[in-house]
């Protein structure tokens, strides 16, 4: 059964050597909830997904896409990348406050 959660966060920008990435950082109770979901999946299936990721269905505004969230710093923070396509569709820019809906798959 999929679990749904709502996260209020700001859109961050990370500049790598070859590209610029936009992302949402999920922390606090929301991050703990995702970590618990990942642990339950690992116990149920006996393995963990690549890089410890969790599959999600993400929604910002009217835009919905399938992706994964990735743990940072021993699962106290999770990262969701936001593509340029989503940024354009929702008219987003670095620093914008967003309401993100995540369905943990």
- Where are the domains positioned within the chain? 3-104
Query: What tens digit of pLDDT does each residue of 65-90 get?
Result: 999 999 997 668 999 999 999 999 99
Give the DSSP H/E element, type plus range, for residue 65. Answer: strand 63-72
What does the alpha-carbon distance between residue 8 and residue 17 come to, in Å, rounded to a whole number?
29
Query: Which residue in this structure is represented by tokens 């369905």?
Result: 103
CATH architecture of 3-104: Beta Barrel (2.40)
pTM above 0.75, yes or no: yes
How high is the pLDDT of residue 74? 67
């Amino acid at each position: 059964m999929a679990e749904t959660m709502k996260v209020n966060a700001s859109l961050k920008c990370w500049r790598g050597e070859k590209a610029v990435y936009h992302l949402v950082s999920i922390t606090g109770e929301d991050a703990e909830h995702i970590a618990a979901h990942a642990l339950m999946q690992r116990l149920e299936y006996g393995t963990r997904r690549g890089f410890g990721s969790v599959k999600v269905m993400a929604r910002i505004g009217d835009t919905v896409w399938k992706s994964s969230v990735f743990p940072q710093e021993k699962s106290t923070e999770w990262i969701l990348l936001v593509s340029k396509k989503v940024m354009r569709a929702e008219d987003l820019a670095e620093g914008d406050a967003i309401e993100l809906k995540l369905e943990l798959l």
